[in-house]
Amino acid sequence: MSTDGGNKKEPLYYGDYLQIGKLLDAQHLESSKIGATAHDEMLFIIVHQAYELWFKQILWEMDAVKRLFSGPVMEEKALGKGVAHLERIVEIQRLFSTQIDILETMTPLDFLDFRDALFPASGFQSAQWRLIENTFGLRPQDRYQYNKTKYSARLSASDRDRVEEVEQSESIFDLVQEWLERTPFIRLGDFDFWSEYGNAVDVMLGHDRTLIDGNPLLSDQEKIDQLENLKKTTDHFAALFDVDAYAKLIADGSHRLSHRALKAALLIHLYRDEPILHTPFRFLKSLVDMDENFSAWRYRHALMVARMIGTKIGTGGSSGHEYLLRAAEHNKVFSDLTNLSTFFIPRSVLPALPANIARQMGFRFSPDDSDS
Ligand code: HEM
């Protein structure tokens, strides 16, 4: 018996469901339009389209993560889902460099057969790429700018509106920061994690100093140099314990994550062997993986561009390879999490958590649970 009120649905046909007709009718070679079909332009188009499809999937996963984090309460189960979304993105990113390998079967001379026909179009105008950057949390001030041109300047008006709207809305970075700020994990009852951790840091730095002082292989000058480096590390740690000093690091751009969020992230990493902290740890680790994979793709793309066009300018009007290399260095979102290892201390000096504290770490947390 029919369950659809008598309306019999046509059997689904593969080609209709996937709109294969539309998909396969979307490769129109510019070189053919001027009567000089360049064989490799088909590959160029298909590789770009494949990227754009994967960009769409990445945005789909990112939006799901944003929804999970938007509520006032984050359940452990939801965090597990968040990890799954991020890990999927990380797997997709692995495809990115392989696709460049395929594109590099096209030689620079083959590319020149149709490059002029592309002006002024460029990957610069990939609206989905900009949406990914903004959804992840890349701020305008963190971008490397070419010729003081805003990254969105080359987009069509409708793409620019979409991209700038996302630039203004809460990013994954913002939501993760808020979540970290409200985790109750930094409230550990009578156990003063922060001062215990400070003592452990002193022990570790004292140990490093003894190693330098007692190293018979170092000349006097080398010892002075190494002690100077150790002082820099000590100063960096000191800023971690001094809210005002840390605020200066945020103001000068060397840190972005709030002090409170950084402390929570540090605690999650240091005590990640506690089962309850394992999912938060995997979540933070996936964010670092993603940031690193985006950078790796940027470098790989820049290398390919050097190989394809040398030092020529890009079709989008930038300095080409040089611009892309600088963007790879600058355009990062979760550097604070990547660099968190600066503040790690060996497990051997890590203060042990009292058993009752470990039990107090519930699976559910909300803003109401947080410290005032
Ligand atoms: C022969 C292959 C390629 C060449 C020579 C090339 C060249 C360039 C150049 C020179 C730029 C800088 C902007 C400009 O002045 O045009 C750029 C940007 C960009 N390209 Fe490519 N590209 C190639 C393939 C790809 C592919 C397959 C993708 C995948 C979608 C891609 C995505 C992008 C993106 C997203 C940007 C903006 C990067 C940013 O501003 O941070 N490119 N490309």
> Which residue's CA is the nearest one to ligand 1's atom 35?
123
Long-range contacts of 343-349 (CB under 8 A, 24+ apart): 343/201, 343/237, 343/240, 343/266, 344/269, 344/270, 345/197, 345/200, 345/201, 345/204, 345/270, 346/204, 349/200, 349/203, 349/204
Report whether 65 contacts 85 (CB < 8 A).
yes
The DSSP H or E segment spanning 23 is helix 20-24
Q: Is the CB of 305 under 6 A from ligand 1?
A: yes
Ligand 1 atom 34 nearest Cα: 123
Q: What structural domains and CATH numbers belong to the chain?
A: 38-187+256-333 (1.20.58.480)
pLDDT at 363: 47
Q: By CB neighbour count within 10 A (0-12 exposed, 13-18 middle, 19+ buried), where does 338 fall?
A: middle
Number of residues in the chain: 372
- Is the Cβ atom of 297 under 6 angstroms away from ligand 1? no
**What pLDDT sits at residue 371?**
45
pLDDT at 84: 97
pLDDT tens, N- to C-terminus, the chain (372 residues) = 444 555 788 999 999 999 999 999 999 999 999 999 999 999 999 999 999 999 999 999 999 999 999 877 777 789 999 999 999 999 999 999 999 999 999 999 999 999 999 999 999 999 999 999 999 999 999 999 988 889 999 999 999 999 999 999 999 999 999 999 987 766 566 778 888 899 999 999 999 999 999 999 999 999 999 999 999 999 989 988 999 999 999 999 999 999 999 999 999 999 998 888 999 999 999 999 999 999 999 999 999 999 999 999 888 888 899 999 999 999 999 999 999 999 999 988 899 888 777 666 644 444 454 443
Question: Which H or E run contains 266?
Answer: helix 259-270
Contact 296, 103 (CB under 8 A): no
Q: Say how many Å lie between the CA of residue 57 and the centre of ligand 1.
A: 20
Q: Tokens for 58?
A: 């990445």
Q: Quick one: 284 exposed, middle or buried, by C-beta within 10 A (0-12, 13-18, 19+)? A: buried
Residue 132: CB within 6 Å of ligand 1?
no
Centroid of ligand 1 to alpha carbon of 316 (angstroms) = 8
Using the mean position of ligand 1's atoms as its centre, give its distance from the Cα of residue 130 in Å.
12
Six-digit token pair at 322?
Answer: 């040089």
Tokens 């494949």 belong to 50
Q: Please work out whether the CB of residue 351 comes within 6 Å of at least one atom of ligand 1.
A: no
For residue 99, give the ligand 1 atom closest to its CA: 27
- 128 and 52 in contact (C-beta within 8 Å)? yes
Residue at token pair 């504290």 = 357
CA of 255 to the centre of ligand 1 (A): 29
- Residue 55 beta carbon below 6 angstroms from any ligand 1 atom: no
